Structure 1
Amino acid sequence: MSTFALAACGGGGGFAGSGGNASSGKQTVTMLVNVTPNLSETYWRNLVAPYEKANNVTVKIQAPSGSGVSDTLPQLLAAGTAPDIVETLMANKTLAPQMLDLTDQSWVNDTPLVKEASLGGKVYTVGVGEQAQSLVYYNEDAFTKAGIAAPPKDLDEFTTDLGKLKAAGYLPLQTGGDYITGLQLLQLADPSIVAGDASWYQDVKAGKADVGQSLQPLLQRYQDWLKAGYLDKNALGLKADAAQTNFLSGKAGMYIMGSWLVSTVASTKTSFPVGAFAAPGAPGGPYPGAQGATMAAPYMVLKSSQHRDAAVALVKWLVTDHTAVTSQLKQDGDFRPGFDWCTIDLCKQVQQILTDAPATTPQGEGYGDLTLPAGFNTEFNKDAQGLYVGRSPAQVAQAVDAWVKSNS
């Protein structure tokens, strides 16, 4: 999520009785949402339709006008046409002053990752579920053909299995260009980082740890895999959708990706069963390790809203109503304890991985008080792709650390 300058908006804290609502009767609540092929405007309208009917409220779904919600919100704020609710973004030090403090709302305490996403002990963001990040999907037929009896539990075993898959005639590990290169490395790094230093984010912020130096051993492994032919040396020319298609068409043995892939697998007819396992950690470390996780479908209410009570009530419904929550989880391949929407074995496997994880850790740039400088994900992806054009792991690590220091 980008950090951007926001124009100051009026409206202090508080709900009804302190300027929270400016009108009576039927109200219109505007909600800026992420629109994707599976989260279409039609889906959003159908989602809120029962709430509108039951509560005499009109919910106006607003699609991004820019390249995404993060680009659109500052434009709307500057124009004085901000929505009442924003979905997708999470509070940071720039956004928080514009958002309503929900800490005193008792219902927020039962929502996923609410404590982890809090900022300075205050709750601005509430979500529907969790996206598991540190997952490896695999072609079960390829594993059988390669003689791999069980998924690897550490990176040494993982490397051995890559060799077995190559010998069996498969591209061992599917990757690609776009954002995939850096994302997969960070997803693979999550359990290793947390297993080695549970206060990693705090240590980086305090200058006690360097991001690039921490990741350099993994960068070295990745370069070794590249040299051994376990990765496609021309992968940077492969778009994200094409990389996904390659895996689902049976060309590769494994594919590192988040839990949203479950929905894609459920709607795709593959010629082989797809399985999933928690990303392996460092040799000698615990398995499973901490699971990289992000809040799914996060919502915030803008402090400038003229319909605060109605907006807060709608957000409460979106993240607590069983039918509404289940619908959103299923639509985007997200998970939450007590909400079982799974209809395929892969979904149940991922749900169990989240259940079995001893802890969760923020992904990439992080959220709440556990963050790296805004823009880190993009910068790391660019630097990591340097491994494909001859840069050494040490050079990549140095570039990452230089960027973090200059942007902290």
Structure 2
Amino acid sequence: MARITRKNARRGLAAVGALTIGAIALSACAGGSGEESDDNTLTLWHFEGANSAMGIAWDEAIKVFEEETGATVEFEEKSFEQIRSTASQVLNSDEAPDIMEYNKGNATAGLLASQGLLADIGDAVEEYGWDDKLAPALQTTARYDEDGVMGSGAWYGIPNYGEFVTVYYNKDAFAEAGLAVPTTYDEFVDVLGAFADQGVTPLATAGLEYPLGQVWYQLALSQADRQFVNDYQLYENPVDWEGEEITYATETLADWVDQGYISKDVTGLKAEDAGVSFINGTAPIFISGSWWYGRFVDEIDGFDWGVFPFPDSDLSLGSSGNLWVVPERSGSKDLAYQFIDITMRPEIQALIGNNGGLPVAADEADITDAKSLELIQAFNAVNDKDGLSFYPDWPTPTFYDSLVAELQELVNGTKTPAEVQTSLGDEYESYVADFR
């Protein structure tokens, strides 16, 4: 039975927009009793495309699994929206799969864990040693307490790939402008100023969707330490919304608009617009996620490009990828654990890496594609210093929309930095207060 407390009951109300329960459009044949079935079948759901890095690697993992176990995998490709919108209802029914990919975070995997819908896989983690393969920040999104807050408590999932935000740059544009890759924050600002002086808006970003919020959070992280991240993301202590980290981020973002480093037009742009402006060479710098990397490899042919870490910051946006979770009603839990373990093997991790993904436990020597290796080494460098710091919208189910709206006001000049911080702080506290 689902565990219901005052806190997670409140979360359920707050997250209803993110986890709308509609009519079940999904079907599967997994046994729903939660006991091990005798049919030697593993029902698996995920939403990765067949040609994606994860889709390619997991398809191979299915073949290995069937060969080694003699069991049959009944794979059902679902859309992200299918799984997202019906998860609570499906996982509480006899139609639950034995294993599935699910989104990480408090309002998603954490919510299902708090409702008792996901199996505690701690014994399997210990048996297979998965914790030894995952950096501390990657483990954060796999563990949830009784209220569904990530970072502590039981293990409810395992990621086998990751993601992070970095700085993409146009090498040719830098060379033409006589600029070197900045290694300090002051040098980075000098680069922005040099492009602006040449009449070029240096930063590609977007205010209708997530990229601008990523820039804002990265600026805060540049002034922060791990305790700030734990307070902001894990609710360990109150966050000071007038403190150094957030004030610096908000005031600096407003200044970058005033200096011409960011166009005021970003309030009408989506992430796709920002990415395309980097692809076509209009903007020489783009701060965003590793999920763009493969597309840039495929579509940029007019100039050379690369990545560098945001200077003078030990912390970066990023996290594990989505999780393998095992529903509590799975009838083949042991088979599910065997499949997860196969996806963590070096050869499967290498497939993720050589096809544009970010494996969490790959041997760099197994990565044969030079461009892929560049990204993986950058990701590993962040993990080596425990730098992954998640995303700015994670703390509440509605914070993404609030952050987008408030930063639009900031860019438009219709709110001051202090007013933006007050609005964001009020939204944050209205949800987070119940978890302290």
Question: What TM-score results when the alignment is normalised by the length of structure 2?
Answer: 0.77
In structure 2, which of residues 379, 388, 410 is the aligned counterpart of residue 387 of structure 1? Answer: 410
Structure 2 counterpart of 1:12? none
Query: Whole-Å Cα distance in 2 between the matches of residues 271 and 306 of structure 1?
Result: 53
Structure 2 counterpart of 1:22? 37
SS in 2 for 1:407: helix
Query: Whole-Å Cα distance in 1 between the matches of residues 227 and 341 of structure 2?
Result: 37
Structure 2 counterpart of 1:364? 391
Query: Whole-Å Cα distance in 1 between the matches of residues 15 and 363 of structure 2?
Result: 33
Contact 1:91 1:124 in 2 (8 A): no
Query: Whole-Å Cα distance in 2 between the matches of residues 224 and 147 of structure 1?
Result: 24
Give 1:41 deviation, angstroms: 6.9
Query: Whole-Å Cα distance in 2 between the matches of residues 144 and 109 of structure 1?
Result: 43
Give 1:71 deviation, angstroms: 2.1
The farther-off stretch of 259-268 and 356-365 is 356-365
Query: Whole-Å Cα distance in 2 between the matches of residues 83 and 187 of structure 1?
Result: 38
Query: Whole-Å Cα distance in 2 between the matches of residues 290 and 333 of structure 1?
Result: 21
In structure 2, which of residues 180, 192, 209 is the aligned counterpart of residue 162 of structure 1? Answer: 192
Query: Whole-Å Cα distance in 2 between the matches of residues 261 and 362 of structure 1?
Result: 19
Where does structure 1 lack aligned partners over 5 or more consecutive residues?
Answer: 8-17, 281-286
**Could you tell me which amino acid in structure 2 is paired with residue 77 of structure 1?**
L
Contact 2:170 2:284 in 1 (8 A): yes
Structure 2 counterpart of 1:116? 140
Contact 2:346 2:361 in 1 (8 A): no
Q: Which has the higher helix share?
A: 2
Query: Whole-Å Cα distance in 2 between the matches of residues 201 and 34 of structure 1?
Result: 30
**Could you tell me which amino acid in structure 2 is paired with residue 258 of structure 1?**
G
| Pairing 1:94–2:105 present | no
Give 1:365 deviation, angstroms: 5.3
Structure 1 counterpart of 2:172? 141
1:60-79 mapped onto 2 (5 Å cutoff): 60-64=74-78, 67=81, 69-77=83-91
Q: Equivalent pairs: percent with the same residue? A: 23
| Pairing 1:310–2:335 present | yes
Query: Whole-Å Cα distance in 2 between the matches of residues 212 and 45 of structure 1?
Result: 48
Contact 1:364 1:376 in 2 (8 A): no
Contact 1:32 1:62 in 2 (8 A): yes
**Could you tell me which amino acid in structure 2 is paired with residue 293 of structure 1?**
G
Query: Whole-Å Cα distance in 1 between the matches of residues 411 and 234 of structure 2?
Result: 30
Query: Whole-Å Cα distance in 1 between the matches of residues 82 and 422 of structure 2?
Result: 31
Give 1:23 deviation, angstroms: 1.6
Contact 1:90 1:299 in 2 (8 A): no
After superposition, the C-alpha distances for 1:45-75 in whole angstroms (9 at most, x for unaligned) are 4652342344333323334457363223224
Contact 1:29 1:60 in 2 (8 A): yes
Structure 2 counterpart of 1:126? 158
After superposition, the C-alpha distances for 1:73-98 in whole angstroms (9 at most, x for unaligned) are 22423554222222132364422222
Name the CA shift for 1:242/1:302 in 2 (closer, same or farther; >3 Å).
Answer: same
Query: Whole-Å Cα distance in 2 between the matches of residues 240 and 149 of structure 1?
Result: 27
Question: What TM-score results when the alignment is normalised by the length of structure 1?
Answer: 0.82
Structure 2 counterpart of 1:14? none
Query: Whole-Å Cα distance in 1 between the matches of residues 329 and 323 of structure 2?
Result: 18
Structure 1 counterpart of 2:427? 403
Where does structure 2 lack aligned partners over 5 or more consecutive residues?
Answer: 1-10, 22-32, 145-151
Query: Whole-Å Cα distance in 2 between the matches of residues 79 and 20 of structure 1?
Result: 14
Name the CA shift for 1:57/1:332 in 2 (closer, same or farther; >3 Å).
Answer: farther
Structure 1 counterpart of 2:71? 57
**Could you tell me which amino acid in structure 2 is paired with residue 164 of structure 1?**
A
Name the CA shift for 1:385/1:164 in 2 (closer, same or farther; >3 Å).
Answer: same
| Pairing 1:325–2:349 present | yes
Name the CA shift for 1:403/1:197 in 2 (closer, same or farther; >3 Å).
Answer: closer
Contact 2:223 2:244 in 1 (8 A): no
Structure 2 counterpart of 1:103? 122
Give 1:182 deviation, angstroms: 1.4
Contact 2:406 2:424 in 1 (8 A): yes
Query: Whole-Å Cα distance in 2 between the matches of residues 78 and 184 of structure 1?
Result: 39
Name the CA shift for 1:316/1:145 in 2 (closer, same or farther; >3 Å).
Answer: same
The farther-off stretch of 351-360 and 393-402 is 351-360
Give 1:392 deviation, angstroms: 1.7
**Could you tell me which amino acid in structure 2 is paired with residue 110 of structure 1?**
D
Give 1:149 deviation, angstroms: 2.0
Query: Whole-Å Cα distance in 2 between the matches of residues 121 and 196 of structure 1?
Result: 19
| Pairing 1:33–2:52 present | no
Query: Whole-Å Cα distance in 2 between the matches of residues 217 and 70 of structure 1?
Result: 35
SS in 1 for 2:285: strand
After superposition, the C-alpha distances for 1:200-227 in whole angstroms (9 at most, x for unaligned) are 4378543253388742221111111112
| Pairing 1:376–2:399 present | yes
Name the CA shift for 1:403/1:213 in 2 (closer, same or farther; >3 Å).
Answer: farther
Contact 1:148 1:161 in 2 (8 A): yes
Contact 2:164 2:388 in 1 (8 A): no
Query: Whole-Å Cα distance in 1 between the matches of residues 336 and 379 of structure 2?
Result: 31
Give 1:172 deviation, angstroms: 0.4
Give 1:197 deviation, angstroms: 4.2
Name the CA shift for 1:90/1:203 in 2 (closer, same or farther; >3 Å).
Answer: closer
**Could you tell me which amino acid in structure 1 is paired with residue 398 of structure 2?**
G
In structure 2, which of residues 306, 309, 312 is the aligned counterpart of residue 275 of structure 1? Answer: 306
Query: Whole-Å Cα distance in 2 between the matches of residues 164 and 227 of structure 1?
Result: 15
After superposition, the C-alpha distances for 1:231-284 in whole angstroms (9 at most, x for unaligned) are 22212322322321210111111000122222222222422111211113xxxx
